[in-house]
Amino acid sequence: MLLSVFAANAQYKRPVHLNEPDYDLGKRLRFGFSVGFNTMDFRIKNGRGIEVSPDLQDTTQFFTDVSHVSPGFNVNAVTDYRLTENFHLRFLPGYSFGQRSLNFFYPNDKLERQMKIESSFIELPLSLKYSANRVNNFRPYLLAGGNVRIDLAANKKLNIAEGVLLRLKRTDAYYEIGFGTDFFLEYFKFSIELKYSVGLFNVLSQDYEDGAENYVQAIDGIHSRIFHVSFHFE
């Protein structure tokens, strides 16, 4: 009897109200906006460094690591161009900011100094979005693309007393991958998206002032990594 009830329920399909049923077959070009959160991180390649102090003959370098990451914020405009039913070209120029903290350790793991690095990016991401076929009012998707970010906070003046020990280069390029889901609401489309960005170039600047050589030369390279959670309204 139970099996008969389950079979009957499986055969009965409740009618589903489709919101914006012609959304994917309508305009080729659509606009919107996006807000979200990010966490910025570094991939650091430590260098051989230089001798830190004459009285520390066995301490010839610093070890550098990212101590913790802080949440940041991003806001973008959305331009979406439909190439085919499943492929879309997307351009989301915008602004994002966040913070990372660098710790400089002696080889005995004793903390020597910490530097907080703030970044304020103008970003120009271009991506290709592949959407699965729509199921009722949901449509999952994958995306991949590239991004150019310009760091407006990169040229901060070096000052050892204030903890500004090194600088980052102003411009970097990233590759990005992500996934998300489109939710078709009554009057607009809402999307939740997770995206991971990986910087392609070493962003460590070789500029330093007298007394800060050991901090810069302790690092061979810094590459940016950023994780995004975004909410799109289109």
Model pLDDT for residues 62-74, shown as the tens digit of each residue: 778 887 778 899 9
Supply the pTM of this predicted model.
0.82
Convert the pLDDT of each residue in 111-167 to its tens digit: 788 888 889 999 999 999 999 999 999 999 999 999 999 999 887 777 777 777 888
**Residue 167 or 228, more confident:** 228
**Residue 59 or 63, more confident:** 63
Q: What percent of the chain has pLDDT over 90?
A: 52
What is the rounded average pLDDT of the residues 95-111? 86
pLDDT band at 14, cuts 50/70/90? Answer: low
Q: What is the pLDDT of residue 68?
A: 72
One-character DSSP codes across 98-137:
EEEEEEEE-TTS-EEEEEEEEEEEEEEEEEEEEEPPPBTT
Length of the chain, please?
234
Q: What is the pLDDT of residue 9?
A: 47
What is the rounded average pLDDT of the residues 12-19? 68
The encoded tokens of residue 93 equal 């120029």
Q: What is the pLDDT of residue 61?
A: 67
Q: Where are the domains of the chain?
A: 26-233
Which helix (H) or strand (E) element contains residue 48?
none
**Residue 206 or 81, more confident:** 81
Q: What is the pLDDT of residue 53?
A: 45
Q: What is the pLDDT of residue 48?
A: 55
> What whole-number distance in Å separates Cα of residue 2 and Cα of residue 144?
47
Residue 180 pLDDT > 50:
yes
CB 108 within 8 A of CB 80: no
Write the burial class of residue 169 (CB in 10 Å: 0-12 exposed, 13-18 middle, 19+ buried).
Answer: middle
Q: Which CATH class is domain 26-233?
A: mainly beta
> What whole-number distance in Å separates Cα of residue 83 and Cα of residue 94?
23
